[in-house]
Amino acid sequence: MDMDILNQFRKELARDWFVQGFSALPTYLNHAAYSGFKIRKILGFGYTIFLFNYKGDYGEMYYYKKDLKDVFKRIKLELKKDPDYLKKLKIRYEKNFFEHEIFFEKLNNYDLKKVSEDELFGLFKKVAIAQIDAVGIAHVVDPFGLEIEKDFRNEISKQIKNKKEADNFISLLSSPLEMSFIAQEEQSLFEIKKLPVEKREEALKKHLKKYFWVQNSYAGPKEITIRSLRKRMEKIKIEPRQNKLISNAKKEKLIFELRLNAAGKKLIKLVEFASTWQDERKANSIKVVHYIDLVADEISRRFKIDRESLNYLSAADMRKKLSIHSLKKILPELRERKNGVFFIMKKNTEISAVGNDYKKILEFRENLNKNYLKSELKGTIANKGKAIGRVVVCKGIMDLKKVKAGDILVASMTRPEFVPILKKVRGIITDEGGLTCHAAIISRELDIPCIVGTKISTKVLKDGDRVDVDANKGVITILNK
């Protein structure tokens, strides 16, 4: 590698980043991230840079913290001018994505084996664009979980001086009013279970048509069958709606009793809005994964290209004119990426590092992360409660197999594909996240003690450690290593 490029990676990694780690592959995730640049053209503001690190099916996406702060500042400015600014953006987002959903309906009826080479690669570009737009304008909500938390905490603390009480109310008041798409899907299965036996099969077919995508991730699709739905349905013992979501009436009563001012009420509504939109965005994004996979499978079959290599196409690769000739030219690079790849992604440039260069950059990154706390971790209270248990560190989907009932799940962040496992854990700890993150929302729905935003839990804690999770105070204590 050119030393200038190696130094550029070192320079970029030394910045202050917000890192999300989960099961992911470039073809699915890099396009979702690219929307951060696209919205600059639409809104006049957005993101300037992203970093990615992939190894196996585990990926890390780096948000530049200054970008998150700048985007949030701009949103606050726009909201001062127009209180309905975000609502209007959401309408615009939904209208744009609806066009892609019309295209998906047509794609479902295509016989991909019969389309020409040019048409096939044209479809590949279209599904990649759909992934960009699945996040799209909704990329503006990413700073909310981090930045709005500070504003929200400051505002509540002005009116509630007791920190313990303030933390409790912040957790309650930031709870979403609507069920996540994961909870909605499970609720639908429960309703089918209540039907007479002779009506269940037809209902399950309709359910599958509506929710075929629900277990997908940025690492690819996961097929759902009538048989697997039937097995899940039989395991549901109690109605999923029996969760800890706070009702609107209870929240309004609490706001009245606390005598919150207009600023506090406004922040509560913003948190609710951001949580709902973020969940909708996740649903759309993992839905598109199915269609990317559909087209990639046909390219792999027709041109005898190993399917796994196509998962390592970046957003920059896809923006070029794609053909079987151009694809075969970059195949050696794609195959190298499978063993580990770093990306620096900017609007008009992309740099990748593989092989020995990847190892050098990884070593540099690890050296930056050396000195961590060893006995006590602190974070943001996402859902109150206490739990003691065995740590299981989950960096990807494959790690979820290690989790047993009563364990404490530790992750960079949780994703929708974690939910079946989260139902049996005793506590959740994450490196990243804020009031509107996935772990915060799901922990409230399932009523599991949860602390997010520790920054270093996956680096300090190891499988088998025994920890005390005090989500009433936001503290994790290591009892024994």
Distance (Å, rounded) from C-alpha 448 to C-alpha 474? 13
pLDDT at site 266: 85
Distance (Å, rounded) from C-alpha 178 to C-alpha 125? 34
pLDDT at site 382: 87
- Percent of the chain with pLDDT strictly greater than 90: 62
Residue 90 in tokens: 């959401």
**Out of 11-15, 203-207, 272-276, least confident range:** 272-276
Task: Report phi then psi at 202, rounded to 5.
Answer: -65, -40
pLDDT at site 240: 64
pTM: 0.87
Give the pLDDT band (50/70/90) at residue 375.
Answer: low
Residue 331 in tokens: 């195949």
pLDDT at site 133: 98
Indicate whether 455 pLDDT > 90.
no
pLDDT at site 242: 47
Residues of the chain with CATH 3.50.30.10: 376-480
Indicate whether 173 pLDDT > 80.
no
DSSP lists the bridge partners of residue 64 as: 17
Indicate whether 78 pLDDT > 50.
yes
pLDDT digit string, tens, across residues 400-442: 889 999 999 999 888 888 888 888 899 999 998 877 788 888 8
pLDDT digit string, tens, across residues 195-240: 999 999 999 999 999 999 999 999 999 999 999 999 999 988 777 6
Rg (CA), the chain: 23
Distance (Å, rounded) from C-alpha 313 to C-alpha 22? 18
Average pLDDT, stretch 264-291?
A: 91
pLDDT digit string, tens, across residues 21-31: 889 999 999 99
CB 70 within 8 A of CB 21: no
Residue 80 in tokens: 């001062």
- Second-level CATH architecture of 376-480: 3-Layer(bba) Sandwich (3.50)
Indicate whether 179 pLDDT > 90.
no
CA-wise closest residue to 182 among 243, 226, 121, 113: 243
pLDDT at site 245: 58
Indicate whether 93 pLDDT > 80.
yes
220: left (phi over 0), alpha (psi -120 to 50) or beta: left
pLDDT digit string, tens, across residues 329-350: 999 999 999 999 999 999 888 9
Indicate whether 287 pLDDT > 70.
yes
Indicate whether 161 pLDDT > 70.
no
Average pLDDT, stretch 249-265?
A: 79
**Please, what is the Cα angle at 23 between 18 and 28, to 5 degrees?**
90
Average pLDDT, stretch 383-391?
A: 92
pLDDT at site 238: 72
**Out of 122-131, 343-352, 367-376, 428-437, least confident range:** 367-376
Residue 318 in tokens: 């896809």
Average pLDDT, stretch 449-471?
A: 91
Q: What share of the chain is helix, strand, coil (3-state, %, to 5)?
A: 60, 15, 30
Give the pLDDT band (50/70/90) at residue 130.
Answer: very high
Average pLDDT, stretch 184-200?
A: 94
